[in-house]
Structure 1
Amino acid sequence: MKAIVLKKFGGVENLIVEEINTPKIRDGEVLIKAKAIGINPVDCKTRKGYGAAKRLKLPIILGWDVSGEIVKVNKNSKFNVGDEVFGLINFPGEGKTYAEYVAAPGEHITVKPKNISFAEAAAIPLAALIAYQALVKEGQIQKNSRVFIQGAAGGVGHIAVQIAKNLGAYVIGTASTKNREFLLNLGIDKFIDYTKENFEDIVKNVDIVLDCVGGDVGIKSINIVKDGGKIISIPSPIDEKLSILHPKVKMPWVLVQSNKKDIEHIAELIKSEKLKVHIQKIYSFNEIGEAHTQLERGGNMGKIVIAL
């Protein structure tokens, strides 16, 4: 089979398409013929030697998001050959989804809803799971919670907007001018153009900040959170010194986890059309370098996907 292999950390030129053996499945696993692969910021970070790189050993097959058709199962599997599935594979371990065939634990996948394409299904898992696990499990979001999403038009951000709105929250979000209508159409209550406005001058008394950007953005968000509120960081942990200086604001870092019940919940939201994913662009398998470059360029509206 063809796979995209990373033998050394660095630029996109290190993502090489090679012929390798099709993986053998172990107990509890199924073999998926991939139809599409989702690309995420952690893929790019890991390629450069950061992100999940410290947990992995070269050579690496990157990728964690996949959708496709099951072509092989073990005895007692709850799935059948021919099932169309999607999921986040082995995160935070090695997912190896940048390949034509993917060995996936049955506990990390679920049946693909019929009302979405394989490309849409591949775009969803990591982004939707981290938004759900951050807002619902960690954030304990409630009806009428005031939620502020930094980077609201991005892969995680635009899904987080929908999850928060579905739960009855008041949602504020930042993005650039070009993404204003996109977010308003998703139901966002207050749009802030970060290229023209300073959110610290506009937003106050927030229950939850979901920081999908990182850096100074998360630090500045401390000034807008009410006592007892949370700043939930996605890209990286917030400096522990800030937690000491601001003891009344909780600052958890959420690392997404592959989870059967959570991905099934996401699938139900999709089936009921309460959650939709927007795809910025679909690339071919051989255009993996271009896909990484597009993602790293920033300012994307939704997700980047590879179609096989």
Structure 2
Amino acid sequence: MRAFTIEKYSKHQDLKLSELPVPQLNANEVLVEVHAAGVNLLDAKIKTGEFKLILPYKLPLVLGHDVAGIIIGLGKDVTKFKMGDEIYARAADFRIGTFAEYIAVNENDAALKPSNISMEEAASVPLVALTAWQALVEKGNLKRGQKVFIQAGSGGVGTIAIQLAKHLGATVATTASKQSFEILKNLGADVLVDYKNENFEDILEHYDLVLNSQDQQTLHKSINILKPGGKVISISGPPTPVFAREVNAPWFVRILLFFFSLSTRKKAKKRNIDFFFLFMTAQGKQLSKITKLIESGIIKPVLDKVFPFEKTNDALAYVKSGRAKGKVVIKIKS
């Protein structure tokens, strides 16, 4: 099969189009013929080695976390799916590789594809929708009537998180450029802050929850807009000692993360704010709940561009540029 691989961590070297064997199935895995793959900033960060302490992958490595496709093979213990099922999934850490014609996926990480959207739209969903779910529902426990600040509303996570937060009954504030205001209003955003000309600290106050996806300076400013007892959930760092324990990181990584996150944790504690770092995980059951929200029209995928498989490097570069409004997808099979 054809697949895009990295042979070493690099900021400048392109992914290499390689010929690899079709993956062998473990007992609880399904073999998926990949029709489309979502592209995420996480792929770019893994390519450069930014996460090598947390995710020590063996190289060469096929990149790609999001998949939509058709099941063409079943492991001997698979019970949740059958041949020919259309599924989508966020491939689990250390089992990634959706920038390829085929991938083996654990049945517990997959869900049936929403029937009312295309393969390309489905491939745009899993990582960002699971991130939004795990941040707002699982860790944030967002309730009706609360106020949430979702940064970078026009990004992949932002477009889904705004819709989910509105479904949960929250008032939603977000940052974006003015060109994106109309689409974000249509998604449900109540308060729109022009990040180029306005400071959200001057506009927002007494919020219950922040979903942080930006740098550490923005994270610290976000703590200031929360009410005492509020929560800030960061998907962009810094990782915390709690996270290091959860992933069973080596002792030296735990020490590094203790000091790396110290100033943020101290600032949050001083203001009686709960700070969490979220590194989302593959969850087929949660994805099935998201399927129902999509099929009922509550959540709509927002696609920016679809690239052909041969242009995978261009797709990754476009995601890295930060210009994408919504998600970027690679079309692998027609």
Compute the TM-score of the two structures, normalised by the length of structure 2: 0.89
Q: Structure 1 residue 52: deviation in Å? A: 5.3
- Candidates 223, 230, 241, aligned match of 2:263: 241
Q: Structure 1 residue 57: deviation in Å? A: 1.5
Question: After the TM superposition, which residues 18-29 of structure 1 pair with which residues of structure 2 at under 5 Å, given as runs?
Answer: 18-29=18-29
Aligned position for 1:214? 215
The residue type equivalent to 1:15 in the other structure is L
- Describe the superposition over 1:263-295 as per-residue Cα deviations: whole angstroms up to 9, x where unpaired: 111111111111111111000111111111111
CA distance in 1, matches of 2:35, 2:59: 25
| SS at 2:264 equivalent | helix
Q: CA 1:7/1:243 → structure 2, altered by over 3 Å: closer, same or farther?
A: same
CA distance in 1, matches of 2:124, 2:12: 20
The residue type equivalent to 1:283 in the other structure is F
Question: After the TM superposition, which residues 32-47 of structure 1 pair with which residues of structure 2 at under 5 Å, given as runs?
Answer: 32-47=32-47
Q: Does 1:292 align with 2:316?
A: yes
| SS at 2:67 equivalent | strand
The residue type equivalent to 1:265 in the other structure is K
The residue type equivalent to 2:281 in the other structure is Q
User: What CA RMSD, in Å, does the superposition of the two structures yield over aligned residues?
Assistant: 1.3
| SS at 1:51 equivalent | coil
The residue type equivalent to 2:40 in the other structure is N
CA distance in 1, matches of 2:89, 2:131: 13
Aligned position for 1:8? 8
CA distance in 2, matches of 1:8, 1:246: 38
CA distance in 2, matches of 1:89, 1:271: 22
Q: Any conservation in 2 of the 1:7–1:14 contact (CA below 8 Å)?
A: no
| SS at 1:50 equivalent | coil
Compute the TM-score of the two structures, normalised by the length of structure 1: 0.97
- Candidates 85, 88, 113, aligned match of 1:86: 88
Aligned position for 1:123? 124
In terms of mean alpha carbon deviation, does 189-198 or 54-63 score higher? 54-63
Q: Structure 1 residue 196: deviation in Å? A: 1.1
Q: Does 1:259 align with 2:286?
A: no
Q: Any conservation in 1 of the 2:120–2:329 contact (CA below 8 Å)?
A: yes
Q: Any conservation in 1 of the 2:124–2:303 contact (CA below 8 Å)?
A: yes
- Describe the superposition over 1:13-68 as per-residue Cα deviations: whole angstroms up to 9, x where unpaired: 43011111101111010100000000111100011111357421211111111000
Q: Any conservation in 2 of the 1:62–1:94 contact (CA below 8 Å)?
A: no
Q: Structure 1 residue 93: deviation in Å? A: 2.6
In terms of mean alpha carbon deviation, does 36-45 or 232-241 score higher? 232-241
Gaps of 5+ in 1: none
| SS at 2:276 equivalent | coil
CA distance in 2, matches of 1:96, 1:32: 11
CA distance in 1, matches of 2:315, 2:12: 9
CA distance in 1, matches of 2:70, 2:191: 40
Aligned position for 2:184? 183
Aligned residues: 307
| SS at 1:3 equivalent | strand
CA distance in 2, matches of 1:206, 1:88: 31
Question: After the TM superposition, which residues 93-172 of structure 1 pair with which residues of structure 2 at under 5 Å, given as runs?
Answer: 93-172=94-173
CA distance in 1, matches of 2:96, 2:120: 18
| SS at 1:55 equivalent | coil
Aligned position for 2:299? 275
Aligned position for 1:303? 327
Q: Structure 1 residue 76: deviation in Å? A: 4.5
| SS at 1:174 equivalent | strand
Aligned position for 1:50? 50
Q: Any conservation in 2 of the 1:143–1:167 contact (CA below 8 Å)?
A: yes
Q: Any conservation in 2 of the 1:56–1:94 contact (CA below 8 Å)?
A: no
CA distance in 2, matches of 1:138, 1:217: 20
Gaps of 5+ in 2: 240-260
CA distance in 2, matches of 1:297, 1:188: 24
CA distance in 1, matches of 2:67, 2:111: 11
